[in-house]
Amino acid sequence: MSTKLVHLSRANLHGVWCALIVPWTSRDDVDSRRFRREIHSYGGTGVHGVYTGGTTGEFYAQSDAVYARITAIACEEAHACGLPIQIGASALSTLTARRRIRVALQSGADAIQVALPFWLELEDDEVLRFVREVAQEAGSTPIILYLTSRSKRKIGSSLFGELATAVPTFIGTKDTGSDPETVRALLRAAPDIAIFGGEDFFECVPIGGRGGYCSITGLNPRKVAELYEHCAAGRMAEAKPLSDAITRYLHEALVPLVKEQGLRDSAVDRIQRVAGGVDVGLDCQSPYRSGNANHVRNLISWVRKNTPELLPDHVE
């Protein structure tokens, strides 16, 4: 059992948080050796923490036993690297989410990240009930809400403020679909909640956003951390060229993999992680499509030609 590394709070939650990819064996079990290397590779890169679950971590394809193994390894290895870790506990029901939270607490998670149950769209009172109940299960361990369209609804500023008042251990959000006006509205309703987007540091950090939950850290976490630090320090002139390169990479190199080749986010995140030099494998859990070696080669070639500043030093 690992112990918590830090006490995360509304005041200190910030920075670049990286989604962990789970390497699978040929029998669709966790490849523990490669998973430990995946986590360890983020140590010393300047990122502020790592997290499990979400689409990148394929939480929806994990049995209870696999979830427990992933959680134990992730907490142990992240803390060994000096990185705090949020454990994803998203599920179709409060009951399952609470069971996963208990597993996360036993392993020493620094925070719990959870999306709203997503099979049926929740009404406002059901959102409040869910967040209260998962927070009760988590006790003093803080909650980060994953606000995603996959939950079939977004949380407006009024309900957001109500949640912040009703649940003191609710400390932050992950919302990679937010825009600056949404960030402003949420901060007006709950000024002390840590609001995170995706790669939009240049737009959102100056207006009060705290950082990003970024899949593109898979390619080059050091560069993403560098962009965040520029924006957090107000060095916007230094930040803009790097921000422009990352935006171009996102829209011209990654989006076509989804829109033109029919790959899901989980497959795209594997492609860029392997392109970044980390052996997490390209196979996603069935029934979803996986990328292949050609996708990796093509991505590296695109980056080398169009945004070479994003290419990791160790990638030839």
**Sequence-ordered list of residues with C-beta below 8 angstroms from that of 247, at least 6 positions apart, any chain:** 199
**Sequence-ordered list of residues with C-beta below 8 angstroms from that of 144, at least 6 positions apart, any chain:** 13, 86, 111, 112, 113, 114, 171, 172, 173, 174
pTM of the model: 0.95
Q: What is the pLDDT of residues 93-141, one digit of tens each?
A: 999 999 999 999 999 999 999 999 999 999 999 999 999 999 999 999 9
Q: How far apart are CA 198 and CA 256, in angstroms?
A: 18
- Hey, what CATH class is 15-224 in? alpha beta
**Is 64 in contact with 99 (CB distance < 8 Å)?**
yes
- Domain residue spans of the chain: 15-224
**Distance from CA of residue 244 to its chain's centroid?**
21
Q: Give the model's confidence band at 1: pLDDT under 50 very low, under 70 low, under 90 confident, else very high.
A: low
Q: Is the pLDDT of residue 196 over 80?
A: yes
Find, among 177, 150, 166, the residue nearest to 53 by Cα: 150
Q: What is the pLDDT of residues 213-241, one digit of tens each?
A: 988 999 999 999 999 999 999 999 999 99
| Mean pLDDT across 190-195 | 97
Helices (H), the chain: 32-40, 64-80, 94-107, 124-138, 157-166, 180-189, 201-204, 221-232, 236-248, 255-259, 265-275, 293-306
Q: What is the pLDDT of residues 31-78, one digit of tens each?
A: 999 999 999 999 999 999 999 998 999 999 999 999 999 999 999 999
The per-residue pLDDT for 3 is 78
The mean of the pLDDT values for the chain is 95
Q: How far apart are CA 283 and CA 290, in angstroms?
A: 5
Find, among 80, 81, 22, 72, the residue nearest to 47 by Cα: 81
